[in-house]
Structure 1
Amino acid sequence: MGIQDVIRWLVPKEEHFFDILEKQATTAREGVAAVLAEDDVAKASEVLQSFEHKGDQLVHEMEEALAKTFVTPIDREDLHHLSSELDDVLDLANGAAKAARLFGVDAFSPAMRELMKVLHDCTVVVDKAIPLLRKHAYGEIVELSRELRKLEKEGDRIYKAEVSRLFKDPSIDGKVLIREKAVLDDLENALDHCDELASVLANLAVKHA
């Protein structure tokens, strides 16, 4: 047991940090699910805006809580990292919807929807993993981290296959390629942040197990 663990054992913990993280994870999951449920790109962008606004408020709440609290349930750097990554997932999902709307994409392509489905699956896993932090269920967290990494690899495969198709198909107009790749890039980046969440969660499990 390290000195930080001793201090946390002696001093009352601030459990509300877990409340914030859990709200962030749920907001990310609900936001991506809402986009999946929409066929209209403009409507999807509008829907995600409200979730992104809620996510931004939660990040601000986390930053304020960290600034005011001496003893945190886990390292403050880890709390901040988790909070930032959760917010980035939602921001990039919103970025994909915004890019689609900006470049005149009327409907998400099959590949875009595949990536969104994988992203949603990732947010479901994260939403399961985050509440386990307050329970110290580190074995389960490690398993869910592995599941996250598998999903990210599947998303990476879909992304590369679609980008390759866009570049190789001579019938695809350059403007179409640019606008579709912009949306795909944001979705793939959102999945990268899910992979980073997997790393942070796995490292936390090793650190505190």
Structure 2
Amino acid sequence: MKKKKDKFFNYLKSISLNLKVSAHYFADYKFKNVNDLKVFSESMKEFESNGDTMVHDLINELNTAFITPIEREDILALSISMDDILNGLYHTAALFEMYSMIEMDDYMLKFVDVIKTCAAEIDVAIDLLSTKKLLNIREHAIKLKEMESYCDNIFRESIKHLFTFEKDPIQIIKYKQIYEGLEEIADCLKAVANTLEKIIIMNA
């Protein structure tokens, strides 16, 4: 008989899966006109609201649970850092709508591709956590940190390019804000990796 997964791992899996689906939606969505931006933003808001509900339910369970499979603060940190990524994606989608930007430049596309890849890495890591294959998580945590470092380079290049070639101050403000939002999401990826590594050290 297959062993039933702990409810906290089920919560974490629901959060990671919602994040993966939302990151894929964000990365693969194609803008044709300004109306598409509203659909894009509203869809990302729905993903974000679903994530908030999942985290809220998880916290309620943590508050009443007598025993947890790993440390409470690690479960909480993992869920919140995943939620922070999703919040960042929604915030960025809202900026696209607010600024009526129907095209991503090459830097944004690179950022988004990394975030999509990392969301899939996180989902795999949560699967491994759920089945207590803790040592196998390490390679995914390392990949997340490598990707976050790569995003630092993209951010530096994007800002340098922006201030070198863009002369319109309004455009500079718009693009800079989106680059900064995407960089903040990358920082959240590192937070997930750090928590995963802490869980490995404390439980393996």
Aligned residues of 1:97 and 1:183 also touching (Cα < 8 A): no
- The TM-score normalised by the length of structure 1 is 0.89
Answer yes or no: is 1:193 the counterpart of 2:188.
yes
Matches within 5 A, 1:39-188: 39-40=30-31, 41-169=37-165, 171-188=166-183
Structure 1 residue runs without a partner (length 5+): 1-12
TM-superposed deviation, 1:128: 0.3
Aligned residues of 1:159 and 1:188 also touching (Cα < 8 A): yes
Give the number of aligned pairs. Answer: 196
TM-superposed deviation, 1:34: 0.5
**Which residue of structure 1 aligns with residue 197 of structure 2?**
202
Please give the alpha-carbon distance, in whole angstroms, between the structure 1 residues aligned to 2:149 and 2:112.
14
Letter of the 2:8 counterpart: F
Aligned residues of 1:14 and 1:72 also touching (Cα < 8 A): no
Letter of the 1:179 counterpart: K
TM-superposed deviation, 1:142: 0.9
Q: Give a deviation string over 1:151-175, Cα, whole Å, max 9, x none.
A: 1111111111011111122x43111
Of the structure 1 ranges 82-91 and 184-193, higher mean CA displacement relative to structure 2 is found in: 184-193
Within the candidate set 7, 15, 20, 1:24 is matched to 15
Please give the alpha-carbon distance, in whole angstroms, between the structure 2 residues aligned to 1:121 and 1:71.
33
SS at match of 1:131: helix
Identity of aligned residues (%): 26
Aligned residues of 1:100 and 1:180 also touching (Cα < 8 A): no
Please give the alpha-carbon distance, in whole angstroms, between the structure 1 residues aligned to 2:104 and 2:40.
10
RMSD: 1.5
Aligned residues of 2:5 and 2:130 also touching (Cα < 8 A): no
Please give the alpha-carbon distance, in whole angstroms, between the structure 1 residues aligned to 2:5 and 2:65.
8
- The TM-score normalised by the length of structure 2 is 0.92
Letter of the 2:38 counterpart: A
Q: Give a deviation string over 1:61-108, Cα, whole Å, max 9, x none.
A: 111101110111111011110110010000001111111211232222
SS at match of 2:91: helix
Aligned residues of 2:62 and 2:72 also touching (Cα < 8 A): yes
SS at match of 2:100: coil
